[in-house]
Structure 1
């Protein structure tokens, strides 16, 4: 069997559905939302938790489907995206649009059943990702700043779902994930620089794989670390962090900072990929530490 035939066999309607909605990314967003909910709630309501998970999944799935519709002509130019369902011709734009629309309606409706604020932030997330971030990616590196807003919403969305209130607590959760987005996405933008260039995407702050980008990556990593330990000082309302947990959180931040500095020193795509992997581990572990600390404190 030829390589082409083998590749064709692997693409089923299930795999294409998973890819058009970016299931793995959607599940990571659900994880963040659930973590935020557990931080904000006094008594866990499993019905609300399930609704939040479903609503969050539909919300991200819709954004990703719209994104792939808009970028279909650019996706075909890049190695990492040319085999996506639409550019590869396995799914029509109409089918993708139906999926995206259905996911939008289901996502907002389910989040609205929790409370109005949760639905509002969900709708804002879809709008910013689809209508602002996606078009800006081919025009300015500031797209990453805009994209960091919907990317930071899930963590605080969980708190809002639990409390029906937006105050300093979800604000800190938002800020933590907001600042984290920059080293994470600049690392991706660095090691996929040449592929992004084929599609005309501007992801790095200076537009190049240079010291300026590496320095900004370090700066935003430091900001992420500083925000992550703010709850230790008792100034963030009901969002609290023990000294022990704060020390763990700080150590995890130094772990990510090490790889950001390695990128500055080595300036290689390998170093950027290591930073990206470190950033994913960091945000996952941070959320786990926050939640565990709350329930054992």
Structure 2
């Protein structure tokens, strides 16, 4: 990219002093060489691991059977769709990511990738995932996968996140689709059980994410993102974390209450969810202090990840025993 002005015809390359960049994303003039790791980073591997796991659990817990090759293909398509949506998310939010310490080293704000490359990569991954699901599995799984990508990349990223502190509440649906899609890939229909698996992750997302948002709220405030702690304040956010944790306990028990699971899941869900509530109580009822290290919030955030892995593991174990 040129900066304007003519170069004297000296036959030698002209050295131009680069002015201080006022844009938040690295200029193409300072573009660093991209590697496959940068494209992989666009897929948000840590988030994808949870997506793949819950999708696999939904697939394994579903009644009926699916050929292992087709099952692998369905999970691959879900992973590709999640990765494509994550890339589109980072393409759209590159300027915001550059303003936050937590995300400033991502490929786009650090200048390792061009925004157009991230956009094209995200669209390619998203389109390929839906096509693979359509051809290898069936139309219903492909339609729900396509809608999940649209939900995350457009409804959450472009519409909700910059406009409302309820972005995580409503946007939580984006991360709740994988077990639903995994279940549908096997059964070919939407029933109460996969909807409840969707609901569990939907209700789990606010206390999980707000626990993180409490100790990185300065980043969100700097970027102008209306996260709940920034807009409603810490006290309101803490109370809502506790409220959603109690609601999660009730929702997590529903698969057992309706007879969709056995005692392995029922007991596991009860114990895991009660511990979730116990850990959320000091977070929900305490008052913030300026010099506080927020260890209780970090503990809740860390446990919330373990909680989801353990709960869905119990779901699959229960299914294996019943089978």
Deviation at 1:14, TM superposition (A): 3.1
- 2:181 paired with 1:161: no
CA, structure 1 residues 244+164, in 2 after alignment: closer, same or farther (shift >3 Å)? closer
- 2:44 paired with 1:19: no
In structure 1, how many angstroms separate the alpha carbons of the residues matched to 2:179 and 2:314?
14
Question: Could you say which residue in structure 1 is the equivalent of 2:17?
Answer: none
Question: Could you say which residue in structure 2 is the equivalent of 1:93?
Answer: 115
| Contact 1:231-1:241 at 8 Å conserved across structures | yes
Please list the CA deviations of residues 122-173 of structure 1 after superposition, one character each: whole Å capped at 9, or x if unmatched. Answer: 1111111111211221221121123111111111111111101011111111
Among 261, 277, 280, which residue is 2:281 paired with?
Answer: 261
In structure 2, how many angstroms separate the alpha carbons of the residues matched to 1:232 and 1:86?
44
CA, structure 1 residues 206+87, in 2 after alignment: closer, same or farther (shift >3 Å)? closer
| Contact 1:232-1:241 at 8 Å conserved across structures | yes
Q: Which protein has the bigger helix share? A: 1
CA, structure 1 residues 146+122, in 2 after alignment: closer, same or farther (shift >3 Å)? same
The runs of 5 or more residues in structure 2 that have no matched partner are: 1-32
Deviation at 1:56, TM superposition (A): 1.0
Among 296, 310, 315, which residue is 1:271 paired with?
Answer: 296
Please list the CA deviations of residues 212-245 of structure 1 after superposition, one character each: whole Å capped at 9, or x if unmatched. Answer: 2111111111111111111222x25xxx222343
Please list the CA deviations of residues 55-97 of structure 1 after superposition, one character each: whole Å capped at 9, or x if unmatched. Answer: 1111111111111111111111111111111111110112112
Please list the CA deviations of residues 107-132 of structure 1 after superposition, one character each: whole Å capped at 9, or x if unmatched. Answer: 10122121111111111111111112
In structure 2, how many angstroms separate the alpha carbons of the residues matched to 1:244 and 1:139?
42
Aligned length in residues: 283
Among 277, 282, 287, which residue is 2:312 paired with?
Answer: 287
In structure 1, how many angstroms separate the alpha carbons of the residues matched to 2:188 and 2:266?
27
CA, structure 1 residues 97+206, in 2 after alignment: closer, same or farther (shift >3 Å)? closer
In structure 1, how many angstroms separate the alpha carbons of the residues matched to 2:188 and 2:264?
29
Deviation at 1:211, TM superposition (A): 2.4
Question: Could you say which residue in structure 1 is the equivalent of 2:70?
Answer: 48
- 2:156 paired with 1:133: yes
Please, which moves more after superposition, 111-120 or 42-51? 42-51
In structure 2, how many angstroms separate the alpha carbons of the residues matched to 1:90 and 1:205?
31
- 2:262 paired with 1:242: yes
Structure showing greater radius of gyration is 2
Q: Secondary structure at the match of 1:76?
A: helix
Question: Could you say which residue in structure 2 is the equivalent of 1:216?
Answer: 240
In structure 2, how many angstroms separate the alpha carbons of the residues matched to 1:280 and 1:22?
15
Q: What is the TM-score of this pair, normalised by structure 2?
A: 0.83
| Contact 2:183-2:194 at 8 Å conserved across structures | yes
The runs of 5 or more residues in structure 1 that have no matched partner are: 1-10
Deviation at 1:282, TM superposition (A): 0.4
Question: Could you say which residue in structure 2 is the equivalent of 1:8?
Answer: none
Moved over 6 A (4+): none
Deviation at 1:206, TM superposition (A): 7.3
Deviation at 1:209, TM superposition (A): 4.3
In structure 2, how many angstroms separate the alpha carbons of the residues matched to 1:231 and 1:265?
30
Q: What is the TM-score of this pair, normalised by structure 1?
A: 0.90
